[in-house]
Structure 1
């Protein structure tokens, strides 16, 4: 992909857009960056980009006319309904995202992971599997580090492990990872995609351009994903927590096993996993299948699975105070993720939930609250929706608060030894925080501050 002197409009000045601009400048492209935010809102990085030669159009998007740009590169946070995209489509200008751009310059094989829930944990685990198997490994993408910023530093002998979102996948044209993994698909981001059909279509782009020499790892226990296998151009490897498979990665006699081209192999006992919950068993199965497809031995996989303790903000044990475990699951940004968190514990739970809803129902979440939660503490712009859903299920031990200081204080007052105080919001953080990390960090700070006063 020759970008020399190409006129490129980058839409969105977030972390991804900034990384794209810096990369394009190294390729001698003529780069324009646009964002509806002001220079002050974006910060000092605008000065750095200006010095590199990037033209900035801020506070409003430019009109895009035919022959004005050769390419548009979208940041994943910007919907494809914005005016520059509509105009670019009408003008016949190619539109791609940062993921597609990075793929065009990738030399290393890519293992890409998507799904509604479990992406970050599984991506981190797969990255660790390859590192422990002595591969030079890049872990990037939706997990925090833009792929474009490091992609050229890895060769055909290395491995790139990428967490990819539906927002990133919907702007791909040729993206074809060596191994694609889809963990699960449940309602999420419907405010952006409009329907489940469109959401599934975006997720499906992870394998749409694969060849017969590539692999697609799918959750056999998810009927939607089982259907996707019928139209897949690559080799499907199923994983299952509930079924014994003729071929694939599954649980048998309380062990993770693989039945593949190399025959039947035992990997490790499921009790040896250090990440809690049935959903994390599924993540481990998916990671095992992906690593096995790339030639990592069962012995190496077992060693990593026994050592891996998870990621921050995902069922992260902050501390134990007076016999009460305080757990940070700030990354539980939708009801399905929060349901999985609730299912990970067999003791009474004091649940802190709420934030900004993404256009999904809280009914199933409320049913699980009634089943597993003793006290519910709600907050955030759509916390009242969780409260209403819970009351409809006959659950009444609910307290609405205004902020996290109040939430943690109230949780402590209600929690009894042997119970869990769980932050699993079932919502995004965008009403009160910049991201789920900031939300989780505040929760941890408040909990640890409370411990210091003991």
Structure 2
């Protein structure tokens, strides 16, 4: 694709925006990058663009017209209602997300994964399956590495395993994965999408450009996805932990099985998986479906499933101190993710929860806290909402704190040998941190300090 001398405006100066600006400038485009944040707030991003022939516009957006720009590329953090995006649409200027741009530049096959929960683990697991099988692999997208940064080096032999968020799917147009995976759909980001119907519709954009030569992997146990299977243009592969499907990837009698054309292929035993929890069994089933669709053998799949340790910030064991285990689940950024985390352990739990709001309902989370949690340490913008929800179900051991270090120290005081201190906030992190990774790393550092002081 030729971008030489094309006038391109990039909205947003986070990781994906900066990466897109550098790639497009290297291809000869006339690049302008803009963000409403101040120069001081954007100092790190601006430093990364020094020496590049890129027009940098902090503190707002330039006027947009057909004469000034041929294309607008937007970062996922920018809502569709933002002024420059509305202006671009009004002037019939194409608007692409960074994922759309990267896909158009890619030469390899794309395996794309989305869903409310489990997409990061599933993406990393699928990527590892291809690596272990000796394939050329790029793993990127919402998982942390901007895809645009890597696609310029891909060949037709590459497999691109891409985590895609609902925000990234808002501005896809020709995005066409060979395999599209949706792990589940539960309420999340309703402050941005407005309703569950809108949220599900955005998620469905992952497969909207597929053909009958492609595959769509869906969770049969999720009613929304089961129904969505009827509108997929590609070949649907269902996976299920709860149903004995005649065709698909199933968990049955403690084994992961592939059932197709009347044949049953055993992949491995469930107890051989290294990643804990029923939700991770679902992630493994989804990964097996994607791997089989792309031609990986049962032996390829089994080898990875039996060795894959999981991902950082998702049920990550940090340390054991005086008989207390500390688990980092900072990736639990919505109630459903944190419910799954609570269900993954049988030991008594001291839970650290709370953060910035995403318009979530904490009722089901509160019921699970009453069932599984011994002590709750709560903080952040959503603290009062969570406290109200748990008090409503009769949970009593609530400890309100103001700072994150205070939360970790309070949890360590409450925990007894044989118990678990679990950080699983059920909320986003932006009231106190840059992102969930920053929150998770801070938790790990505070736990390391406990080790030093013990």
TM-score range, shorter chain: over 0.9
Structure 1 residue 50: Cα displacement: 5.2
Q: Equivalences for 1:94-243 in 2 at 5 Å?
A: 94-243=94-243
Whether the 8 Å contact between 1:315 and 1:327 is mirrored in structure 2 is: yes
The Cα of 1:261 is off from its aligned counterpart by: 5.4
Aligned pairs (5 A) from 1:299-378: 299-378=299-378
In the alignment, the residues of structure 1 paired with residue 445 and residue 257 of structure 2 have an alpha-carbon distance, to the nearest angstrom, of 40
Range 34-43 or range 355-364, more displaced: 34-43
Determine whether 1:443 maps to 2:424. no
Report how far residue 48 of structure 1 moved. Answer: 4.8
With normalisation by structure 2, the TM-score equals 0.98
Instruction: Tell me how far 1:2 sits from its aligned partner.
Output: 2.2
Q: For 1:240 and 1:9, locate their aligned partners in 2 and report how far apart those are by CA, in whole Å.
A: 44
Preserved CA contact (<8 Å) 2:13 2:45: no
Report the Cα offset of residue 44 of structure 1: 4.4
State the SS of the aligned residue for 1:327: strand
Determine the C-alpha separation between the residues in 2 that align with 1:48 and 1:110. 28
Give how far 1:12 is off.
0.3
| Deviation per residue, 1:394-438 (Å, 9 max, x gap) | 111101001122112111221122211100000111000001111
* Contact in 2 for aligned 1:323/1:416 (Cα 8 Å): yes
Structure 1 stretch 112-121 or stretch 406-415: which is displaced more?
A: 406-415
> 1:71 is matched with which residue?
71
- Match of residue 85 from structure 2: 85
Indicate if the aligned counterparts of 1:367 and 1:393 stay in contact, CA closer than 8 A. yes
Would you say 1:389 and 2:389 are equivalent positions?
yes
**1:405 equivalent in structure 2:** 405
Structure 1 unaligned blocks of 5 or more:
none
CA distance in 2, matches of 1:49, 1:342: 43
Question: Equivalents in 2 of 1:325, 1:44: separation in Å?
Answer: 36
Does the 8 A contact of 1:352 with 1:423 survive in 2?
Answer: yes
Q: CA distance change for structure 1 residues 262 and 125 in 2, over 3 Å: closer, same or farther?
A: farther
Cα distance per residue 1:234-272 (max 9 Å; x no partner) = 000000001111111001221000013593200000001
User: Contact between 2:18 and 2:48, CA under 8 Å: does it hold in 1?
Assistant: no
- 2:295 aligns with 295
SS of the counterpart of 1:289?
Answer: helix
Partners of 1:13 and 1:444 in 2: CA distance: 28
**Aligned equivalents of 1:313, 1:44: Cα separation in 2:** 24
- 1:152 Cα deviation from its structure 2 partner: 2.1
**Within 5 Å, which residues of 2 pair with 1:2-41?**
2-41=2-41
Q: What is the DSSP-based 3-state SS (H/G/I as helix, E as strand, rest coil) of the residue aligned with 1:138?
A: strand
**Counterpart Cα distance in 1 of 2:242 and 2:337:** 19
Once the two structures are TM-superposed, the CA of residue 284 in structure 1 deviates from its matched residue by 0.4
Contact 1:35 1:59 in 2 (8 A): yes
Distance 2:121 2:47 in 1: 35
Partner of 1:415: 415
> In the TM superposition, what whole-angstrom CA distance separates every residue of 1:131-183 from its partner, at most 9, and x where no partner exists?
00000111000001110011121211121100000011110001010000000
Contact 2:14 2:45 in 1 (8 A): no
Partners of 1:94 and 1:254 lie apart in 2 by 50
Deviation at 1:60, TM superposition (A): 1.1
**CA offsets 1:294-322 (integer angstroms, 9 cap, x no match):** 11101110111010110110000111122
Provide the C-alpha distance between the structure 2 equivalents of 1:293 and 1:381, rounded to a whole number of angstroms: 43
Is contact 1:251-1:257 (8 Å) kept? yes
In the aligned structure 2, how far is the partner of 1:48 from the partner of 1:443? 28
Q: CA deviation at 1:440?
A: 0.9
Residue 418 of structure 2 aligns to a residue whose secondary structure is coil
User: Aligned residues, how many?
Assistant: 454
Shift of the 157–261 alpha-carbon distance from structure 1 to 2, 3 Å rule, reads farther
Aligned partners of 1:257 and 1:264 also within 8 Å: yes
Please, which runs of 5 or more residues in structure 2 have no aligned partner? none
SS at match of 1:154: coil
Residues 255 and 270 in structure 1, CA contact (< 8 A), matched pair in contact too: yes
Q: Retained in 1: the 8 A contact 2:42–2:58? A: no
Question: Are the counterparts in 2 of residues 50 and 56 from structure 1 also a CA contact under 8 Å?
Answer: no
Q: Matched residue of 2:161: which SS?
A: strand
Q: Given the superposition, is the C-alpha separation of residues 371 and 44 from structure 1 closer, same or farther in structure 2, using an over 3 Å criterion? A: closer
Q: CA RMSD in A?
A: 1.1
Superimposed CA distance per residue, residues 322-376 of structure 1 (whole angstroms, 9 cap, x where no aligned partner): 2211100001000000000001011211000000010011111001000000100
* Bigger mean CA deviation after superposition, 45-54 or 59-68: 45-54
Query: In 2 relative to 1, CA 227–375 (structure 1 residues): closer, same or farther, beyond 3 Å?
Result: same
